[in-house]
Protein backbone atom coordinates (compact mmCIF):
# COMPACT_ATOMS: atom_id res chain seq x y z
CA UNK A 1 0.00 0.00 0.00
CA UNK A 2 2.70 2.48 0.95
CA UNK A 3 5.52 0.68 -0.84
CA UNK A 4 7.75 0.69 2.25
CA UNK A 5 10.92 -1.42 2.40
CA UNK A 6 10.22 -4.63 4.28
CA UNK A 7 13.44 -6.63 3.98
CA UNK A 8 14.15 -6.12 7.68
CA UNK A 9 11.12 -8.29 8.51
CA UNK A 10 13.09 -11.41 7.55
CA UNK A 11 15.90 -10.56 9.99
CA UNK A 12 16.10 -10.96 13.76
CA UNK A 13 14.31 -7.92 15.34
CA UNK A 14 17.35 -7.30 17.55
CA UNK A 15 19.23 -6.30 14.37
CA UNK A 16 16.61 -3.92 12.95
CA UNK A 17 17.99 -0.74 14.53
CA UNK A 18 21.14 -1.00 12.40
CA UNK A 19 19.33 -1.49 9.09
CA UNK A 20 18.69 1.35 6.65
CA UNK A 21 15.41 -0.19 5.38
CA UNK A 22 14.07 -0.40 8.94
CA UNK A 23 15.03 3.19 9.68
CA UNK A 24 13.33 4.40 6.50
CA UNK A 25 10.14 2.44 7.18
CA UNK A 26 10.14 3.52 10.83
CA UNK A 27 10.50 7.21 9.97
CA UNK A 28 7.70 6.97 7.43
CA UNK A 29 5.32 5.22 9.83
CA UNK A 30 6.12 7.60 12.69
CA UNK A 31 5.32 10.59 10.49
CA UNK A 32 1.81 9.34 9.67
CA UNK A 33 -1.03 11.31 11.16
CA UNK A 34 -3.44 9.04 13.02
CA UNK A 35 -7.09 10.00 12.80
CA UNK A 36 -9.99 8.25 14.46
CA UNK A 37 -12.50 9.46 11.91
CA UNK A 38 -15.41 7.55 13.38
CA UNK A 39 -14.89 9.02 16.85
CA UNK A 40 -14.37 12.53 15.49
CA UNK A 41 -17.63 12.33 13.55
CA UNK A 42 -19.45 11.16 16.67
CA UNK A 43 -18.09 14.02 18.75
CA UNK A 44 -18.94 16.53 16.04
CA UNK A 45 -22.46 15.11 15.78
CA UNK A 46 -23.04 15.45 19.51
CA UNK A 47 -21.62 18.97 19.58
CA UNK A 48 -23.86 19.94 16.69
CA UNK A 49 -27.12 18.73 18.25
CA UNK A 50 -26.53 18.76 22.03
CA UNK A 51 -28.88 21.24 23.66
CA UNK A 52 -29.93 22.62 20.30
CA UNK A 53 -33.11 20.64 19.71
CA UNK A 54 -33.80 18.84 22.98
CA UNK A 55 -32.61 18.80 26.57
CA UNK A 56 -33.91 15.25 27.17
CA UNK A 57 -31.00 12.76 27.03
CA UNK A 58 -33.09 9.87 25.65
CA UNK A 59 -34.50 12.07 22.89
CA UNK A 60 -30.98 13.30 22.10
CA UNK A 61 -29.67 9.72 21.84
CA UNK A 62 -32.55 8.78 19.54
CA UNK A 63 -31.98 11.87 17.40
CA UNK A 64 -28.26 11.12 17.13
CA UNK A 65 -29.03 7.56 15.99
CA UNK A 66 -31.48 8.81 13.37
CA UNK A 67 -29.07 11.44 12.05
CA UNK A 68 -26.20 8.94 12.00
CA UNK A 69 -28.28 6.38 10.09
CA UNK A 70 -29.44 9.04 7.62
CA UNK A 71 -25.85 10.11 6.98
CA UNK A 72 -24.87 6.47 6.46
CA UNK A 73 -27.70 5.83 3.98
CA UNK A 74 -27.35 9.20 2.23
CA UNK A 75 -23.65 10.18 2.45
CA UNK A 76 -24.15 12.86 -0.21
CA UNK A 77 -27.37 14.36 1.13
CA UNK A 78 -27.60 17.52 -0.90
CA UNK A 79 -31.06 18.58 -2.02
CA UNK A 80 -30.24 17.65 -5.61
CA UNK A 81 -29.14 14.15 -4.59
CA UNK A 82 -32.15 13.49 -2.37
CA UNK A 83 -34.65 14.66 -4.98
CA UNK A 84 -33.15 12.34 -7.61
CA UNK A 85 -32.65 15.16 -10.10
CA UNK A 86 -29.44 15.34 -12.15
Q: Which of 5, 3, 7, 10 is nearest to 24 (CA)?
A: 5
Quick check: pTM over 0.85?
Answer: no
- Within 10 angstroms of residue 25's Cβ, the number of other Cβ atoms is 19
85 band by pLDDT with thresholds 50, 70 and 90: low
**Bridge partners of 50?**
54
Contacts from 78-85 at CB under 8 Å and sequence distance 24+?
none
pLDDT at 79 over 70: no
**pLDDT tens-digit readout, 32-64:** 887 777 778 777 777 776 767 777 788 878 888
DSSP code of residue 13: G
Amino acid sequence: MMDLPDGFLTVDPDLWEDRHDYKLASETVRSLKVVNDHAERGVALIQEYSGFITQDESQLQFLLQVVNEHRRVYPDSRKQTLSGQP
